[in-house]
C-alpha cells in the first residue's frame, strides 16, 4: 500500500540527516511545550502508544503493539459528536473538533500505511470533520522496522518493513545503532527541526539503510502470494474453509476487528444523563463479527458465523476495488490476538491450494 497521503504537506524530499539518538530525543523533549507527544511506551505489561511526559519514556526499539496509533489517536475508538437538551427548550450543541497539536513518534511502516488507508475512508469525497481535524493537527514521525514479529506479513503486502509511501507522514527514522538516519518529508517539520550536531546524510548512509532493509526482509517467516487473490476469494464464497474454520474455532469475539488498524466501521450511540435532561451522542467502533452488526429490518444477512468470518477476511484480502489497495497492511495483529489462532493468510492459502 504505497500511499499518497491526503495530509501532511507537499510531496518532496526536504532534507536528510544523521543525528545521534540522544540529540533526537532532546529535540523531542523541546517540542513538548507546543505539542502533545505520543509514542510507544511501556505501561507495566506491554508497549502501548500513549502520551509521554518525557522522551525517556519512549520505547523506540519495540517490535509491535496490540493497538495501532492511528486508531487510538487520530481515528478515536470513541468520539463525542454533539450534546443536546431534553428538557424545556430542546437545543443541540455541536462539540468542537480537535484543535490541539500532537506528534506521534515511532509509527512503523505498516501502521503508517494503515493511517493512509483511513485517510481514504474519512478524507475522500465526504470528509469527516473530527478525523480531519486530528489528522491535520498530527505530525507523524515514522520509524522503519529492524525486527519482525512472527505474525507479520507486511513484506507480502508491500507495506513494510521499510516505508516506501510517497507522502502522508512528516519524518522517517531508520535506526543506525547510536544514531538515526532522519528523512524530513514536510515543510512543517522542517521548520521545527533544529538539532545540534546533525550532519547531512549521503550515499554511505543510504547504502547502509538499503543493507538494513535487506536484512529485515530476510527475517520474515509468514508470507502470502497476493497475485489474483482478490478475485479468487470473491469467486469462492462457499468454500468449505469458511464453515470449517468458523464452526471449529471462531468465537465471534471481534478481537480481530478491534486490533485491526484499518477497520473503520462505527456505530452511533446516545448516552442520556441520569436526570434525563441531557444526552451526548458518540461515535464508537463497531465490529462486523458481532451477530447484530448486519441486522436490518426483516432479517440478518450475516446471521451465520461463517458469513461474518468471511466478511472480515475478504475485506482485508479481497476488496481492492474499494480503494485500489488491499485492506490489510500485514501487521499480523488479528492473528496474534485471536484467542484460537485463526490465521487469515492460512485461510487464503487453503483456497489457493484447492482452487488453482
* SS (HEC) of 291-323: CCCCEECCEECCCCHHHHHHHHHHHHHCCHHHH
How many other C-beta atoms lie within 10 A of the C-beta of residue 86?
A: 13
| DSSP codes, 120-136 | HHHBSSSB-HHHHHHHH
Angle, helices 240-248 vs 344-355, to 10°: value is 150
What are the beta bridge partners of residue 204?
A: none
Judge whether residue 11 has pLDDT over 80.
Answer: no
Judge whether residue 195 has pLDDT over 80.
Answer: yes
Buried b (16+ CB within 10 A) or exposed e, 263-301: bbebeeeeeeeeeeebebbbbebbbbbbeebeeeeeeee
pLDDT band at 302 (very low <50, low <70, confident <90, very high): confident
Cis preceding-peptide flag for 215 (omega within 30 of 0): no
Say which residues have a Cβ less than 8 Å from residue 66's Cβ, sequence separation at least 6.
46, 48, 259, 333, 337
Q: Chain centroid to CA 284: how far?
A: 17
Computed over every residue of the chain, the mean pLDDT equals 92
Q: Contact 158/3 with Cβ under 8 angstroms?
A: no
Q: What are 140-178's pLDDT values in tens digits?
A: 999 999 999 999 999 999 999 999 998 999 999 999 999
C-alpha cell of 140?
Answer: 507523524
Q: Contact 267/78 with Cβ under 8 angstroms?
A: no
pLDDT band at 1 (very low <50, low <70, confident <90, very high): low
pTM for the model: 0.92
**Boundaries of every domain in the chain:** 15-76+95-217, 229-262+288-355
Determine the Cα angle at 3 with ends 234 and 1, to 5°: 40
Amino acid at each position: 500500500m504505497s500511499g499518497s497521503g491526503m495530509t501532511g504537506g507537499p510531496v518532496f524530499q526536504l532534507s536528510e540527516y544523521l543525528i545521534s539518538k540522544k540529540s533526537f530525543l532532546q529535540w523531542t523533549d523541546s517540542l513538548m511545550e507546543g505539542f502533545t507527544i505520543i509514542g510507544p511506551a511501556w505501561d507495566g505489561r506491554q508497549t502501548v502508544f500513549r502520551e509521554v511526559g518525557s522522551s525517556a519514556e519512549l520505547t523506540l526499539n519495540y517490535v509491535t503493539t496490540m493497538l495501532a496509533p492511528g486508531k487510538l489517536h487520530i481515528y478515536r475508538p470513541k468520539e463525542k459528536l454533539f450534546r443536546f437538551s431534553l428538557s424545556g427548550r430542546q437545543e443541540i450543541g455541536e462539540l468542537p473538533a480537535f484543535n490541539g497539536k500532537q506528534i506521534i513518534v515511532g509509527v512503523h511502516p505498516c501502521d503508517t500505511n494503515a493511517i493512509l488507508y483511513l485517510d481514504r475512508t474519512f478524507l475522500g469525497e465526504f470528509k469527516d470533520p473530527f478525523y480531519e481535524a486530528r489528522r491535520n493537527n498530527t505530525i507523524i514521525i515514522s520509524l522503519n522496522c529492524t525486527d519482525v514479529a512472527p505474525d507479520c506479513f507486511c513484506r507480502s503486502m508491500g507495506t513494510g518493513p521499510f516505508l516506501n509511501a510517497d507522502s502522508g507522514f512528516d519524518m522517517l527514522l531508520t535506526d543506525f545503532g547510536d544514531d538515526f538516519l532522519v528523512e524530513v518529508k514536510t515543510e512543517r517539520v522542517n521548520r521545527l527541526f533544529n538539532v545540534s550536531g546533525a550532519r547531512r546524510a549521503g550515499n554511505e548512509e543510504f547504502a547502509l539503510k538499503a543493507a538494513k532493509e535487506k536484512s529485515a526482509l530476510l527475517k520474515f517467516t509468514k508470507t502470502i502470494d497476493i497475485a489474483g487473490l482478490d478475485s479468487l476469494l470473491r469467486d469462492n464464497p462457499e468454500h468449505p474453509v469458511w464453515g470449517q474454520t468458523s464452526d471449529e474455532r471462531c468465537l465471534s469475539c471481534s478481537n480481530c476487528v478491534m486490533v485491526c488498524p484499518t477497520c473503520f466501521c462505527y456505530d452511533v450511540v446516545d448516552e442520556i444523563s441520569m436526570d434525563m435532561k441531557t444526552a451526548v451522542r458518540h461515535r464508537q467502533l463497531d465490529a462486523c463479527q458481532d451477530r447484530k452488526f448486519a441486522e436490518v429490518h426483516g432479517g440478518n444477512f450475516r446471521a451465520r458465523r461463517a458469513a461474518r468470518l468471511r466478511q472480515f477476511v475478504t475485506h482485508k484480502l479481497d476488496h481492492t476495488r474499494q480503494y485500489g489497495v488491499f485492506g490489510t497492511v500485514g501487521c499480523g495483529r488479528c492473528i496474534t490476538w485471536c484467542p484460537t489462532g485463526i490465521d487469515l493468510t492460512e485461510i487464503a492459502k487453503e483456497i489457493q491450494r484447492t482452487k488453482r
